[in-house]
Homo-oligomer: A and B are copies of this chain.
């Protein structure tokens, strides 16, 4: 049985939940509360499992794998069907490029530990923190919209794998939720928003939303 160490609102853990669901793999979740007691991800017990001190972490027998995209690549290699990347090397590179752009250019600037540093160490007020957040989201999503618009199946109402979503949608959907949570206007990214909406009607996606996770705290 696969075990995912996760936090309900973690964008990165959500990517992995989506891939597990899309591949119809059974898994259990262990909650790591990112805010409680100074953040359980920083506690010695969790650091012993994952020295990086972040979620997600996937445990598969003796393997302990940190970093969402490393986990997703691992699942793609160990459970190749259904494939979540296209077959052709150029098409695979394009999907990885878009996904990597979300994971390493947009999200790292806006995740919890960075917002905590801006508030705590730098003493930024809420307005400045929001400007920071919106700046990187806007720069990122504008570039992504331009690229994804060129993908014929997506533009025509399909997905990154033609008739079904995969690796890319697992990165996109959590990032758009995150953007909405911080009130970023999204009307300039119609292709991304429409793709996100198509995903949300699928069970693999509706099961993975933060509010449906066992550790969700719905009144915050």
> Which A residues lie at the B interface, using CB under 8 A?
51-54, 62-63, 65-67, 69-71, 73-74, 77-78, 89-90, 92-94, 96-97, 99-101, 103-105, 107-109, 114, 117, 121-122, 124, 128, 131-132, 135, 143, 146-147
Contacts and interface: CB of A to CB of B under 8 A. Distances in A.
Nearest to A60: B90
A132 B109 CA distance: 13
Contact of A105 (B54, B63, B96, B146): B54
10 contacts: A51-B143, A63-B93, A65-B97, A67-B104, A70-B96, A74-B96, A78-B89, A105-B108, A109-B114, A122-B124
Contacts of A67: 96-97, 100-101, 104
B96 A73 contact: yes
Contact of A51 (B63, B103, B147): B147
Contact of A108 (B71, B109, B131): B109
A96 B109 contact: no
A143 B131 CA distance: 30
A40 B105 CA distance: 18
A74 B93 contact: yes
The winner among A71, A89, A122 for most chain B CB atoms within 10 A is A89
Contacts of A103: 100, 104
A108 B108 CA distance: 7
Contact of A74 (B52, B74, B92, B114): B92
B70 A93 contact: yes
Contact of A69 (B63, B66, B96, B122): B96
A70 B73 CA distance: 12
